[in-house]
Structure 1
Amino acid sequence: MPNRKHLTTSEINEMLSASLAGKYPERDWCLIQMCFLHGLRASEACQLRTSDIDLRDKVIYIRRLKGGFSTVHPLTQDELPHLKRWIKQRNQMRGADSEWLFLSQKGGQLSRKHVYTLIKRYGEAANISVTSHPHMLRHACGYALADSGADTRLIQDYLGHRNIRHTVIYTASNPQRFTGLWQKGVNRK
């Protein structure tokens, strides 16, 4: 499957595990996890601000690019501990007074190029069979939501798509939608 454009949930888990051996494991785990859970583009992740996070109400403001709809997402119970650890470490780094959630080693805003490098490196370290890039995490989010039975319109809103055509790729390839098709009384001749 060399032309696959998404990662599987197990591959993402392997990538997360590989990030623990990186120089900034808290940041990188949080970055990968949030890109997947919120369907973030690399640029959207880089432009997250600390003010976009509300730990008390457990929500995050997602500022969509490319003309997408911005929205507020709930923070999951799985991501909260990682996010809190990263914020605690971030606040002790050079550049802690910066507005950006994800900081570089020099304390500035993490670049889109660096996110690509990290995702590729952790994909290789996890022995993922395809060359990994950040947009694969966004697609993985869409497929995971479709596989869990989420409605196409809900996925559209969650990913910020203005056009439903960009969303149906996730639900059209969901094999679970065919489960039980022959058991529902379809006439077999």
Structure 2
Amino acid sequence: MSSRKHLTPSEVEKLLEATLKGKNPERDYCLIWMCFIHGCRVSEINSWRLSDIDLEGGNIYIHRLKNGFSTIHPLYVRERKCLQRWMAKRKSYRGADSEWLFLSNRGARLSRQRIYWLIRNYSEVANLEVNAHPHMLRHGCGFALADRGIDTRLIQDFLGHRNIQNTVLYTASNAKRFKEVW
């Protein structure tokens, strides 16, 4: 097993494919994709409320923990589609009148421990070379943004880091940043 602390975009895709074989594909696909695309900590994603999402306006409020900067992110096309599928399926869940976005089969808020278990389980189903956990999705987001050439300050804002030193981890190891130097 690798000691890497992040998932690559292709590994995230494999995780997403694995959710389609699970008992709650709409919920789990949406949860994993949103966790990755917004670089969320597990406690941030399991705390999302329906009121944090504005599907019509195309925004989501990201309440950052660990003294991070909370902000509003856009909802991207793929994310909107998986959110719409989950919201339609969510209506049939116990506790559908609850404020929590991600519900357990019992109708309660999906726990941090359950999210850890789900991601670990899906990493096994997907035959990943790493034992994935939720924070690997957050780091994967940071590295994916750096690989796309996104400015370090923008990555800092996107992930809610107060200290730039927490962000340079993603850009410092990115060889692509030197591509246009000469």
TM-score range with shorter-chain normalisation? over 0.9
The code of the aligned residue for 1:178 comes to: F
Max radius of gyration: which structure? Answer: 1
Rounded Cα–Cα distance in structure 2 between residues aligned with 1:147 and 1:100 = 33
Rounded Cα–Cα distance in structure 2 between residues aligned with 1:81 and 1:59 = 13
Match of 2:175 in 1: 175
Match of 1:187 in 2: none
Match of 1:163 in 2: 163
Match of 2:28 in 1: 28
Match of 2:81 in 1: 81
Task: Give the Å deviation of 1:79.
Answer: 1.0
Rounded Cα–Cα distance in structure 2 between residues aligned with 1:80 and 1:125 = 25
* TM-score, normalised via structure 1 length: 0.94
Runs of 4+ in 1 over 2 A off after TM superposition: none
Task: Give the Å deviation of 1:174.
Answer: 1.0
RMSD: 0.9
Rounded Cα–Cα distance in structure 2 between residues aligned with 1:129 and 1:2 = 6
Identity %, equivalent residues: 61
Rounded Cα–Cα distance in structure 1 between residues aligned with 2:55 and 2:107 = 22
Match of 1:145, SS state, is helix
**Structure 1: gaps spanning 5 or more residues:** 185-189
Rounded Cα–Cα distance in structure 2 between residues aligned with 1:23 and 1:98 = 21
* TM-score, normalised via structure 2 length: 0.98
Match of 1:94, SS state, is coil
Match of 1:4 in 2: 4
Q: Deviations over 1:102-158 (max 9, x none)?
A: 000100000000000000000111110011000000000000111111111100010
Rounded Cα–Cα distance in structure 2 between residues aligned with 1:72 and 1:159 = 11
Rounded Cα–Cα distance in structure 1 between residues aligned with 2:40 and 2:93 = 24
Match of 1:34, SS state, is helix
Rounded Cα–Cα distance in structure 2 between residues aligned with 1:159 and 1:91 = 31
Give the number of equivalent residue pairs: 182
